[in-house]
A = this chain, B = another copy of it.
Amino acid sequence: MTATDDVMDALVRTTFEVAGVLTRIGGEHDLSLTQLRVLGILRDRRARVTELAAYLGLDKSTMSGLVDRAERRGLLTRGKNPDDGRVVDVYTTPAGLELAQRVEDEARRALTPMTGRLDAEQLDQLAKLLELVLTRP
């Protein structure tokens, strides 16, 4: 078992742990992990359907359905793009934004036990190391 293997195991276990927390918190607001991500992306900016699908690695038809249901729930809105008539822009409603904010707050609180046992220096270290891990080649 190499050091790399150890890290990968820890990464995978952490992944399931964090995903579990997010799934639980999302579920309490009837949001799947994917809906959570969509809402998170649209918190800052609007995006077109295909863009969202590509970003999450999903088929565009899947994203169309996700937007459908979120729109029916009043969380998102579809809008025509003035520059290109084929494009459908998606953006959050105030209700969607508010829900995204609340879920994010709860998620941070729910994740606190995981980071809680790290001191300031360890937090910095971990953030830096994860940034390295996330850096695309």
Residues of A within 8 A of B (CB): 3-8, 10-20, 22-24, 37, 57, 107-108, 111-118, 120, 122-127, 129-135, 137
Contacts and interface: CB of A to CB of B under 8 A. Distances in A.
Given A133-B115, A133-B118, A123 B15 contact: no
Nearest to A37: B16
Contacts of A122: 129, 132
B118 A129 contact: yes
Contacts of A4: 108, 112, 115, 123
A118 B7 contact: yes
B17 A19 contact: no
Q: How many copies does the complex hold?
A: 2
Given A6-B127, A129-B129, 4 more contacts: A4-B123, A11-B111, A11-B115, A115-B133
A130 B12 CA distance: 10
Contacts of A135: 117
A124 B2 CA distance: 10
Nearest to A129: B126
Given A8-B115, A118-B7, A14 B133 contact: yes
A21 to B, nearest CB: 9
Given A16-B37, A117-B135, A118-B132, A123 B11 contact: no
A126 B10 contact: yes
